[in-house]
């Protein structure tokens, strides 16, 4: 009996030792799991930002254990700072719904994902713990769930999902950064985006190049062009037109591609006799064909002060603005057989030149050279476009820039109201209503709301 009792005692001690060892192992794993979960608990803090994402996550998220109960200050020093999952907390700018990003992981991570459902949202939602979800997944497959066996897999899966979420947040942040339109054009020096192309001595630089004067005399005019070529974007210039008797002169600001079947987007300011209003002519060339002239009188004297003239060009429309007032829209009407500029990069040009054979009253009013030199003044030189080589056929960031977003795919109600005001009060010619040239209105006119 005594030997039997001792034998039983030994067995009990052995089992107790095994139990203690198992308990210690479980506690060790639990602490490791707890340490990893600290990272994800931080995701609930909406005041944190990804710019301070610690390198510790990339190297070893559990390299330093954290004791929540005794060392709270030390814990916070070792914590990894991450994004809130709610991107709207950072910006109210809507994210384009059609932009998709591809994410790839290594084969080991993909094998882990095949074993369990997509747990990304369980990092943020209180609808059920990940442990419960993993347990249900195991039970659904007829397998026994043992927390001590699964805890490392769950923790690793958390880390995998964490990296995925951070990658998605970075992409969304990238999109938000591109999705925020500028509140106004950014003024930069002339040399940042442009260089002179002819009659260099007829370009005058003031204030360190922040202001430029183009000079026209009886010998020559002058001009400049952009350094880059662009596929889509927003392009703006502040211009003060030739003052006084400007008949016969043309101040041009336009975009144009470089081949025979070229695309072009034109602002042309046609001078006039003293006291008569300037005429602004716009035109759009697609595939080498223009003949889409529209003319308006401006509601101010453009020679008295600087005013902003800009073009918004994306895959959906071209909009001409004067001081942020839309004066013309040219929609993408490829679906009804009309060409649209979409695959030819354009440079930006501006020039002051003599065109008295047609510019003023069809050439009846000639340039009065006694009033020379004629001066047009420029500043601003804003360019926000997708820069591409001359031979590029697409923009690498297509769909990701602010001008690609939904709110810029059409004018809003207030913009259409202002456009209607311009057409009603200031339009003096519209090719869409010229029945001599076009007995049947061109098909794009109705879509552009020109008729």
Does residue 367 carry a pLDDT above 60?
A: yes
Cα–Cα dist 82/165, whole Å: 10
More confident residue, 325 or 41: 325
Does residue 157 carry a pLDDT above 90?
A: no
Does residue 119 carry a pLDDT above 60?
A: no
Query: Which of 160, 95, 148, 87 has the alpha carbon at shortest distance from 122?
Result: 160
More confident residue, 362 or 180: 362
Residue pLDDT, tens place only, 28-57: 666 655 555 555 454 444 334 333 334 434
Residue pLDDT, tens place only, 187-228: 999 999 999 999 999 999 999 999 999 999 999 999 999 999
Q: What is the torsional sign of CA 196, 200, 202, 207? A: positive
Q: Which entry of 264, 293, 365, 444 is annotated as an active-site residue?
A: 264
Query: Average pLDDT in the 94-113 region?
Result: 38
H or E stretch at 327: strand 325-331
End-to-end CA distance of the chain: 112
Percentages of the chain per state (helix, strand, coil), in multiples of 5: 35, 25, 40
Please report, rounded to a whole number, the percentage of residues in the chain having pLDDT higher than 90.
54
Read off the pLDDT band of 141 (50, 70, 90). confident
Cα–Cα dist 368/249, whole Å: 10
Cβ atoms 222, 352 nearer than 8 A: yes
Q: Is 268 a catalytic residue?
A: yes
Read off the pLDDT band of 103 (50, 70, 90). very low
- The pLDDT value given to residue 378: 98
Q: Is 85 helix (H, G, I), strand (E, B) or coil?
A: coil
Q: Which entry of 175, 268, 370, 407 is annotated as an active-site residue?
A: 268
Sorted by where each starts, the structural domains of the chain and their CATH numbers stand as 2-179 (no CATH), 190-447 (2.60.120.200)
Cβ atoms 225, 349 nearer than 8 A: yes
- The pLDDT value given to residue 394: 86
Does residue 104 carry a pLDDT above 60?
A: no
User: For 436, phi and psi rounded to 5 degrees?
Assistant: -75, -50
Query: Average pLDDT in the 137-149 region?
Result: 75
pTM: 0.62
């Amino acid at each position: 009996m005594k030997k039997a009792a001792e034998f039983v005692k030994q067995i009990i001690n052995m089992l107790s030792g095994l139990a203690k060892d198992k308990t210690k192992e479980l506690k060790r794993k639990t602490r490791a799991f707890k340490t990893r979960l600290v990272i994800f608990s931080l995701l609930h803090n909406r005041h944190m930002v990804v710019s301070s994402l610690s390198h510790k996550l990339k190297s070893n998220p559990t390299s330093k254990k954290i004791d929540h109960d005794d060392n709270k200050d030390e814990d916070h020093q070792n914590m990894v700072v991450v994004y809130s999952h709610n991107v709207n907390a950072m910006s109210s700018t809507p994210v384009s719904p059609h932009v998709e990003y591809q994410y790839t992981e290594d084969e080991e991570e993909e094998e882990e994902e095949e074993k369990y459902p997509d747990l990304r949202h369980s990092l943020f939602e209180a609808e059920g713990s990940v442990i419960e979800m993993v347990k249900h997944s195991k039970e659904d497959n007829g397998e026994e769930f043992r927390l001590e066996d699964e805890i490392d897999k769950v923790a690793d899966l958390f880390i995998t999902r964490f990296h995925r979420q951070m990658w998605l947040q970075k992409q969304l942040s990238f999109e938000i950064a591109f999705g925020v339109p500028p509140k106004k054009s950014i003024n930069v020096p002339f040399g940042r985006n442009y260089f002179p192309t002819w009659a260099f001595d007829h370009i005058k630089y003031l204030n360190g190049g922040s202001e430029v004067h183009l000079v026209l005399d009886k010998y020559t005019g002058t001009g400049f062009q952009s350094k880059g070529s662009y596929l889509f974007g927003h392009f703006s210039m502040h211009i003060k037109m030739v003052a006084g008797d400007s008949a016969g002169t043309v101040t041009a600001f336009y975009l144009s591609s470089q081949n025979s079947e070229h695309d072009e987007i034109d602002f042309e300011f046609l001078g006039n006799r003293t006291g008569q209003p300037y005429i602004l002519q716009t035109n759009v060339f697609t595939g080498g064909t223009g003949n889409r002239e529209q003319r308006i009188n401006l509601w101010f004297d453009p020679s008295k002060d600087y005013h902003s003239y800009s073009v918004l060009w994306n895959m959906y429309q071209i909009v001409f603005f004067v001081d942020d007032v839309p004066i013309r829209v040219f929609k993408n009407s490829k679906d009804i057989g009309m060409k649209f500029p979409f695959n030819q990069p354009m440079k930006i040009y501006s020039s002051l030149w003599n065109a008295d054979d047609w510019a003023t009253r069809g050439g009846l009013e000639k340039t009065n050279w006694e009033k020379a030199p004629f001066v047009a003044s420029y500043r601003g030189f804003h360019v926000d476009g997708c820069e591409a080589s001359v031979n590029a056929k697409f923009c690498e960031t297509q769909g990701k820039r602010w001008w690609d977003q939904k709110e810029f795919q059409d004018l809003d109600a207030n913009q259409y109201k202002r456009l209607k005001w311009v057409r009603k009060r200031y339009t003096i010619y519209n090719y869409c209503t010229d029945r001599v040239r076009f007995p049947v209105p061109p098909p794009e006119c109705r879509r552009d709301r020109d008729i």
